[in-house]
Amino acid sequence: MSLLLGVNIDHVATLRQARYALLPDSPNAEPSPLDAAHDAIAGGGDSITIHVRGDRRHMQDRDARRIRAEIKAPLNLEMGVTQEMLALALELKPQFACLVPETREEVTTEGGLDVAGRRQETGDCIRALQDAGIRVSLFIDPDLHQVEVAAELGADMIELHTGCFANAEGQHLNGEIRRLIAAAELGHSSGLQVNAGHGINYGNLFKLFAVPHLTELNIGHSIVSRAIRVGLKEAVREMKQLMTTYPQGPCD
* Catalytic residue chosen out of the listed positions 11, 38, 51, 188: 51
194 beta partners = 158, 214
* Catalytic residue chosen out of the listed positions 78, 159, 176, 216: 78
CA atoms of 32 and 10, how far apart (whole Å): 11
Q: How far is CA 121 from the centre of its chain?
A: 21
Task: Using alpha carbons, list the distances in angstroms from residue 111 to 161, 162, 231, 248.
Answer: 7, 9, 29, 27
Is residue 38 part of the annotated active site? The answer reads no
* Catalytic residue chosen out of the listed positions 11, 38, 161, 198: 198
Helix, strand, coil tally for the chain in percent (to 5): 45, 15, 40
Which amino acid does the sequence have at 29? A
Is residue 198 part of the annotated active site? The answer reads yes
Longest dimension (CA), the chain: 51
Closest Cα partner for 159 from 243, 210, 100? 100
Is residue 161 part of the annotated active site? The answer reads no
Task: Using alpha carbons, list the distances in angstroms from residue 135 to 38, 77, 113, 173, 197.
Answer: 23, 10, 17, 31, 17
Sequence-ordered list of residues with C-beta below 8 angstroms from that of 9, at least 6 positions apart, any chain: 33, 36, 37, 40, 48, 49, 50, 220, 224
Active-site residue numbers? 51, 78, 198
